[in-house]
Structure 1
Amino acid sequence: MRKASKLAFAVSCMTMAMSGIAHAGGHYVPGVEGIQAASVPPPGKYYLGYLVNYNIDKIDGAPGQNDGTVTALANRFVWITNQKFLGADYGLEAIVPLQSTSFTFNGIGYSGSSRGLGDVFLGPVVLGWHGSNWDSVFALGLWFDNGDFSATNPSSVGKGYKSTMWTLGGTVYPDSAKTWSISALARYEQNGKQDQTGITPGDGLSIEWGIGKQIGGGKQLGLVGYYQKQTTKDSGPGALPVKPSKSAIGVQFDYPLMEHGVILKFAGYHEVSSNSDAKGNLFRVTLIKVF
């Protein structure tokens, strides 16, 4: 690879962390779901607050010391109605993220931070099925490009493009008492063109999994993980032929406060592999409020 190409590749690797926690999948942040990730709750109104902190240790393929921190509060509102469609409970959802980013990319001489409202998600289709020992979900929605974005600012809180996100997953309960659960949730993002650059980011696949065990009093403990990969190449002027990917493993602990209608979920992930993408650790606290 020529020197100019190497430099372009290095800049691309570092800007993959731009305006979000990960580039490989697009808007969606893997690691926000885990145990029973594919189980839709019964009819009702819910608030889910995901407080996520992601610390970048390195960026694969980029020269110099590069690190950063992304902290986000994703406010998710879910309404599962009493209506049925194809035998499933029908619902809809919205996600409103607030984000703070701080990056130091010594390889390109950048150091800066941004904070503000990130790109909003609206999901008019959420379908949840429930069997005697299984759950499944299908969902469809759109990420908007409302967040502040600048092609010259790697810490922008917006992506600068829209994405259509498809969701499919399932949970199985191996024992009749449902004390064990095994879940997998896949999200596929079809990304639109980034107007400021003319580049259309490649599509992305995110898979989250969890194996959980009830340990009494509604508390739950288990192993969780995720895999995220860009499935198609970026296209447009200056686009490079890289398809980033990463994977992580971690633990999750759920603690219910049923007298308050609240469930708290704590999780920590360590990214064990990264190909042309950021690599680090992710910590999450989720608050679920039932109305």
Structure 2
Amino acid sequence: MTGPGHEPFAVVLLDVNGTLVPSVPGGPPDALALQRFRRLVRHLTSAGVAVGLCSDSPLRQLREFGTRIGLGTAPGFPVIAENGNVVAVDGTVRVTTPFPALRSLRAEVAAAAAAHGLSRVGDAVAPEFGGRPPTGRTWAFGANRLASASVFGPPDFIHDVRHRLTGWSAGGRVGNRIGSPAGSRVGGRAGERAGERADISVELGPDGSYAGIHPYPRTELGKRTALAGLAARDPRSTLLVGNSPADWVPGVPGVRCAFVADPAVPRHLRDAAWYVSPAAVLEGVVDILGHVLRRQPPAPGPARF
């Protein structure tokens, strides 16, 4: 690891699963650690630093979660949602990576569920956001997604979804590539025809009962593309805090990365990071924010992204 640098940051973006909360949801966060986290966020905000979230989760859940943990009132803090496919900054929500084949993909998932004899229930919210995923022989799509899909259900069904969608994607490719121009209509018929396919990636949750599906062949490309686009429009120094290779953004001017302790981060990324905390999850985030604050000169006025 290189150790903390001395550059000030204008923006700090925090991953959620595995970073702010455990990858496998457990009990509530440690009250003292959460208190220290909130205090550091207040100090950073007073110093002119915008603290927000960067996660695979949907925008609505992330805004509610951010408000609950002390980032402020939405839309007052930046959010990069759905693995970078949706960006909400300065009150504007933009789809950065459209998913033209989303409707066709959802039909493939429904066909897989029918083959398993499962019953669909209402769209689900993940436990870390207060939801209750389906149980027994039921399944659900994840709620509130704009440019990606998520699926909850029994592990055998989820593994079959990954297998089917991999074959579905390989059956034909019709031009949705990461970095496609923003502004395409998501979830409608724009660019979608019967039998359409698209490059996708399918990422399974730790316990196999969840899958996240994105419109590019490598999941780790999502956050990188979103942050590169933001840096091109507004080159303020940004720190991304995470716990996995998906939170590594190489080669983007002004963007640095820090990690909480996690075996998922390979050695070469730890060596190149701005800082790697010896502590995991929320305690690690608190440690990293402390390093950011100690190198952050005070700035007048409220933080803006």
- Give the structure-1-normalised TM-score: 0.30
Q: Which has the higher contact order (CA 8 A, sep 6+)?
A: 2
Which is helix-richer, 1 or 2?
2
Which is strand-richer, 1 or 2?
1
